[in-house]
C-alpha cells in the first residue's frame, strides 16, 4: 500500500502509457481491479459444444429483463460475456460483430473463434499504448464452435493478452469458482451437464442469495453451430 501511495504521489498512475520504476502500468492494474467488481461468469468447453452461464444480478422487478442480458451474440456461432464496465464491452461487441460480418462477406464463411478474439484483444492492447485514452475496464469471454466443429473458449485480459481455456470464470469470486471448476470440470461433460455444474457452483457461492431468475445461459452446440439462450423457467429444470 505504501508503494502504491508513493507511485500516486509521483504521478506514475496518471496515464496508461507511463511505466513505474518496477515496470508496471498502474492504470492497467486499476482496470483489472474493476473487472473483479463485475458480475460472475462461467464458461466451459463441453463434449458437444460450448457454453457461458452468467449472473445478471437483476434484483429490481421493475427492470425490463431484455435490458439486463449479460451474454450477447457476435455471430450466430459465437457468443460473448464481459465482467467490468459493461459500456466498454458494448463498444468492443459492436466492433467484433462488424469484423465477423465482414469476414463472412469477404471469405464466404464464418470467422473462427480465435480470429474474433484476436480482433478484440488487439483493440484492447492499443488502449494501453496511446496517450489520451484509458484501458478498457473489462475482461471479455468469447466462446463458440468453429467451422471445423472444434469448440473454443477464450478470455481476453485488460492488457490485450488472451488465453484459451477448457473452463474458467471471470468477475466477482472468480478465484473461488475456478478452484471449484478444477475439481469438478471434465472434458466429457455435455452442455446440459455443464449448465448443471455451473448453476451448482453459483448456488454454493451465493448461498441464500441464489435465485435461478438471476441467471442466463447461452450455448452453441456442434450439431447446428447456432447460439441458443436459456433463462428463468428453462434454467430452473437444471437445478437439483
C-alpha cell at 231: 433463462
d(CA 82, CA 89): 6
d(CA 204, CA 182): 15
Q: Strands across the sheet with 78-84, in order? A: 71-75, 78-84, 138-145, 151-156, 162-164
Number of domains in the chain: 1
Q: Which whole-number Å values give the CA distances from 96 to 115, 149, 162, in the listed order?
A: 10, 21, 15
- Is 200 a member of any domain? yes
**Full residue range of the structural domain in which residue 106 is found:** 25-232
Task: Report pLDDT digits (tens) over 8-30.
Answer: 546 777 777 788 888 888 888 88
- Is 212 a member of any domain? yes
Is the pTM higher than 0.75? The answer reads yes
Q: What CATH number does the domain containing 221 carry?
A: 3.60.20.10
- Is 11 a member of any domain? no
CB 79, CB 72: distance < 8 Å: yes
Task: Report pLDDT digits (tens) over 116-164.
Answer: 999 999 999 999 888 788 899 999 999 999 999 999 999 999 999 999 9
Q: How many CA atoms lie within 13 A of 56 on its CB side?
A: 25
Amino acid at each position: 500500500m505504501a508503494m502504491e501511495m508513493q507511485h500516486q504521489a509521483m504521478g506514475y498512475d496518471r496515464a496508461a502509457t507511463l511505466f513505474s520504476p518496477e515496470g508496471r502500468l498502474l492504470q492497467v492494474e486499476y482496470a483489472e481491479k474493476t473487472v473483479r467488481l463485475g458480475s460472475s461468469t462461467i464458461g466451459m468447453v463441453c463434449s458437444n459444444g460450448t457454453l457461458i452461464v452468467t449472473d445478471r444480478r437483476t434484483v429490481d422487478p421493475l427492470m425490463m429483463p431484455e435490458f439486463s442480458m449479460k451474454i450477447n451474440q457476435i455471430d450466430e456461432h459465437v457468443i460473448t460475456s464481459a465482467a467490468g464496465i459493461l459500456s466498454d464491452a458494448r463498444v468492443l461487441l459492436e466492433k467484433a460483430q462488424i469484423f465477423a460480418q465482414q469476414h463472412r462477406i469477404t471469405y464466404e464463411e464464418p470467422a473462427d473463434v480465435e480470429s474474433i478474439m484476436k480482433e478484440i484483444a488487439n483493440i484492447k492492447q492499443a488502449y494501453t499504448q496511446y496517450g489520451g485514452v484509458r484501458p478498457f475496464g473489462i475482461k471479455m469471454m468469447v466462446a463458440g464452435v468453429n467451422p471445423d466443429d472444434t469448440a473454443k473458449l477464450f478470455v481476453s485480459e485488460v492488457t490485450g493478452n488472451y488465453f484459451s481455456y477448457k473452463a474458467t470464470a471471470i468477475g466477482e469470486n472468480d478465484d473461488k469458482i475456478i478452484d471449484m471448476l478444477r475439481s469438478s470440470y471434465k472434458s466429457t461433460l455435455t452442455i446440459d451437464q455443464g449448465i448443471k455444474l455451473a448453476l451448482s457452483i453459483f448456488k454454493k457461492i451465493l448461498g441464500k442469495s441464489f435465485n435461478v431468475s438471476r441467471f442466463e445461459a447461452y450455448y452453441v452446440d456442434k450439431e447446428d453451430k447456432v447460439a441458443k439462450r436459456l433463462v428463468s423457467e428453462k434454467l430452473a429444470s437444471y437445478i437439483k
